Structure 1
């Protein structure tokens, strides 16, 4: 009986150890399940965060594409701006040349007007002189005609005598 008691004690002790071991394992299972649940929540949270980050990544990639287009357009606008600036400079130079030619033409026109005024005054003086000469010529012609008539009359008188 001692042996049976020993065996029983041994079995009880093993049973207590096993019960303790089972309780320990059950506690460990509970801990692992809690940890698993926590990890599942973390996984769900990370999946959600991953989805948010992927959406953000898509948005940023689209933004990068838009910015690249804008930069390209900016480069094109810059090139166009440089081209237009050069064209504007050429047009300004042409305008300055045209303005210079216009000023020179204006000066020549003014000088021509001055000369025309001078020649007009000279022409008026010459016309007045011509009129005076014509008047003098008419007077002399009348005198000549009168003298010629007197001479003819005188010759006719002398011829009659």
Structure 2
């Protein structure tokens, strides 16, 4: 019986050791399970963060592409703007030249108007002088004709004598 008791005591010690090991193993399993759950949550969180970062990356790449497009458009607009600025400068120079020509032409026209008025007065004066001389010529012609008639009559009367 002693052997039996020893065997029973040995089995009890083994059972206690097994229970202790089982309890330790269960605790370890629970800890590992909790750790796995925590790691799963961490993985899910990291996946969400990765998804957000990928979305941000896509948005950033889209903005970069838009910025490059805008830069190209800006350079095109700048080139067009510079061309238009040159054209405006040329048009302003042409406008200045046209205004200068207009002033010169206006001044010449004013001078021509003054000369035309002067010549019109001169023409009017000459026409008045002509009219005066024509009246004098008519008067003298009339006097001449009268004197000629008188002379003719006098000559005729002298011949008759």
User: By the TM > 0.5 criterion, same fold?
Assistant: yes
Partner of 1:145: 145
**In structure 1, what is the Cα distance between the partners aligned to 2:94 and 2:7?**
123
Partner of 1:81: 81
Write out aligned runs for 1:1-161 (5 A).
Answer: 2=2, 5-161=5-161
Alpha-carbon distance, 1:113 to partner:
0.6
Alpha-carbon distance, 1:88 to partner:
0.7
- Aligned-residue CA RMSD (Å): 1.7
Gap runs ≥5 in structure 2? none
Alpha-carbon distance, 1:56 to partner:
2.3
Alpha-carbon distance, 1:151 to partner:
1.1
Alpha-carbon distance, 1:4 to partner:
5.0
**In structure 2, what is the Cα distance between the partners aligned to 1:3 and 1:78?**
106
Provide TM-score, normalisation by structure 2. 0.90
Provide TM-score, normalisation by structure 1. 0.90
Alpha-carbon distance, 1:3 to partner:
5.3
Residues 86-117 of structure 1 show CA distances to partners (whole Å, capped at 9, x for unaligned) of 11111111100000000000000001111111
Gap runs ≥5 in structure 1? none
* Count of aligned positions: 161
**In structure 2, what is the Cα distance between the partners aligned to 1:4 and 1:90?**
123
